Structure 1
Amino acid sequence: MLTADRLIAAAIMAMSAYFMWHATILPIGWNGMTGGPGGGAFPFWLSAIMFACAAGILIRSYAGKTEYSGNFFDPETLQSVATVAIALVITIAVMSWLGAYVALPLFMVWYLKIFGHHGWLLTAILSIGTPIFLFFFFEVTLKILLPKGLTEPFFIPLYAAFF
């Protein structure tokens, strides 16, 4: 297992370094013209965080602070990972048609309530609160438009209020 940890951590670090290098094609600093970060800021800094996390895994594997018990990939775990991966692919596939603000809450309801067996209160709070947060964070604050799909007409009054 330690060999797998080390190989995967090294691969993620290499991939992160490539993403960081590729993100510098666009400006990664603050863009005074748009009043927000440059186009490469989020890819660069998210890749840097991913690099740091993978480096932490690599360092931890050499420090001897990892303990494994049992099989890492048992059939139940593989089935759960595959189920969530398929649900994410479906969510991404319908995002351009339904829009991010419908597809993401549908995924969250499925993931929290049906797959995770959480209560309706938590499911409702996260499924409603997340799209609201995403709208204000990306569209209002950063002025990055997310796909709306069929719901585009419903956002015209919000655009009039915030832009």
Structure 2
Amino acid sequence: MRRAEIVTAGVLALLSIYLMWKSSFLEIGYIRGEGPGGGFWPFWLAAIMLICTGLIAFNWYRRTSPPSQSTEPLLDPYGQKMLALVGGGIVGFVALVGILSMYGAMFVFLIYYLRFLGRHSWLMTMTIATSIPIIFFFFFEALMRITLPKGMAFLEPVFNALNTIIY
């Protein structure tokens, strides 16, 4: 557990530095009359993340956090099983985006996660698995005007019906 804490902090620190570097290609300050530049939020959020990883490393060095005092392994057999089940579900979700669309893949993933991993009722599972993709559709397509991947054409009638509500 102790080694995992410092390795994770190090990886997140490297990721923070990379994100700060990439976002610095855009304006990271405030543009008069326009607002924050394109790199403002990514840069400063990554900077905050870098500070947090520094604090984690400091606490690790002083052995003040529970993980830094632990000699337990990072994952027990149950944790390894859950990592495989959840990670496999996410890999499946990403694989389904090109076939079912972002929203269809989200629907399938939520059913898998809520019903089969979380063992929730079918009523709750279907309510959440149906409403969340629809909410995301309206948020991205109507409010943000960002089109997410639509996958193959067989879900196009669903998107057309939802688009009639928007326009």
Tell me the number of residue pairs that the alignment of Structure 1 and Structure 2 aligns. Answer: 160
**Higher Rg:** 2
Q: Which runs of 5+ in 1 are unaligned?
A: none
Amino acid across the alignment from 2:156: E
On the 8 A contact 2:107/2:129 being kept in 1, the answer is: yes
Tell me which residue corresponds to 1:94.
96
Q: In structure 2, which of residues 130, 133, 151 is the aligned counterpart of residue 131 of structure 1? A: 133
User: Matched residues, percent identical?
Assistant: 35
On the 8 A contact 1:26/1:38 being kept in 2, the answer is: yes
Tell me which residue corresponds to 2:119.
117
RMSD of aligned residue pairs (Cα, Å): 3.4
1:14-163 correspondence to structure 2 within 5 Å: 14-26=14-26, 44=43, 47=46, 50-51=49-50, 54-61=53-60, 62=62, 64-67=64-67, 68=70, 70-149=72-151, 150=153, 151-159=155-163, 161-162=165-166
User: How far does residue 152 in structure 1 lie from its aligned partner after superposition?
Assistant: 3.2
When the two structures are superposed, what TM-score results if normalisation uses the length of structure 1? 0.74
On the 8 A contact 1:60/1:66 being kept in 2, the answer is: no
Amino acid across the alignment from 2:2: L
User: How far does residue 45 in structure 1 lie from its aligned partner after superposition?
Assistant: 6.3
Distance 1:113 1:30, change over 3 A: farther
Tell me which residue corresponds to 1:5.
5
User: How far does residue 28 in structure 1 lie from its aligned partner after superposition?
Assistant: 6.3
Alpha-carbon distance in structure 1 between the residues aligned to 2:76 and 2:16: 28
Amino acid across the alignment from 2:120: H
On the 8 A contact 1:100/1:146 being kept in 2, the answer is: yes
On the 8 A contact 2:4/2:74 being kept in 1, the answer is: no
Q: Which runs of 5+ in 2 are unaligned?
A: none
Distance 1:106 1:73, change over 3 A: same
- Look up the SS of the partner of 2:149 in the other structure: coil
Alpha-carbon distance in structure 2 between the residues aligned to 1:84 and 1:131: 19
